[in-house]
Amino acid sequence: MSFAKDKEAVVITGTSTGIGRACALHLDEKGYRVFAGVRKETDGDTLKRESSDRLTPVILDVTDDETINKAAELVSELTGDSGLFGLINNAGIVVAGPLEFISLEDFWRQLHVNLSGQLAVIQAFLPLLRKAKGRIINITSIGGRQPVPFMGPYCASKAAFEALTDSLRMELFPFGIQVSIVTPGNIKTPIWDKTRKRSQEDIKKPPPNIHEFYGEAINSMLKGASKMEDSGLSPEVVAYVVATALEAIKPRTRYIVGMDAKIQVLMSRFLPDRLRDRIVSRFLGIELKPVVSKHRSDNK
């Protein structure tokens, strides 16, 4: 059961490509007044050419408080007493690589974009959401429920975002603000192609131990990731689920998108850790076996 929300206002972050873009165009088609967060004006112009006049691009960088506050002021001015019906937090990046060699600067950047930046956006738009008794939908990832090797920073950020969302749901319930998590599995988006190219470049950089210790495993994982990307679901599938969460009279607290994601949820719930490790690694083409050092000398 659902209800129509013609021309209700929604804000979506990270709409330049992938899931965010699909959500912006789909909700625009359904009659919502979409404020599409982009970091570059050119991306906003592209969205405008493919949408109706209900869609308004808004410069919004989740790591830049000034753009967040300006976006909130603009939306407040244009929505008036109606407030904001929906906030879809989708913006995100992927920092990948062996945790042994991930720089702390890159790790904090991962958490800034995928976690603290999301909270900054939520805080800025909550007064408008309270006016409309609106809804917050946070896009996480199955990686937050089922971590994989060489994606530690990304998986950690998404696991933390799930925990933050659970707390937020309970805190905002008294105000009539519904909070849902949408957890996609394998989705075809440009973010994975960017991650793959960067990972291939990173293992060629110093320190040389990266390639010695992890080069073979990373290359195997990248090949497996390419196959997964080719078989991934369209971002539009996630957009349909987001619309469902917006329009359900009693939205679920969690929506798992994709059969692969549902299987991984069951694995994380019922399988022993070491068995799950072997299954995940084998699926990614990584062989889990002890490494014998070339420099080891046996004492007799």
Sign of CA dihedral 185, 189, 193, 194: negative
List the alpha helices (DSSP H) in the chain. 18-29, 41-49, 65-79, 104-111, 117-132, 152-172, 190-202, 209-230, 235-247, 259-270, 273-283
Catalytic residue among 154, 214, 240, 255: 154
Are 116 and 176 spatial neighbours (Cβ–Cβ below 8 Å)?
no
Sign of CA dihedral 126, 129, 133, 135: negative
Residues in the chain: 300
Supply the DSSP symbol for 60: -
Residue whose token pair is 């958490």: 111
Instruction: Give me 251's structure tokens.
Output: 């939205």
Sign of CA dihedral 255, 257, 259, 260: negative
- Beta bridge partners of residue 180, listed in sequence order: 137
Instruction: Give me 5's structure tokens.
Output: 């929300």
Instruction: Give me 145's structure tokens.
Output: 């429920």
Q: How far is CA 229 from CA 116, 194, 240, 299, in A?
A: 28, 12, 20, 48
> Is 214 among the residues known to form the active site?
no
CA distance 106 to 178: 33
The residues annotated with a catalytic role in the active site are 154
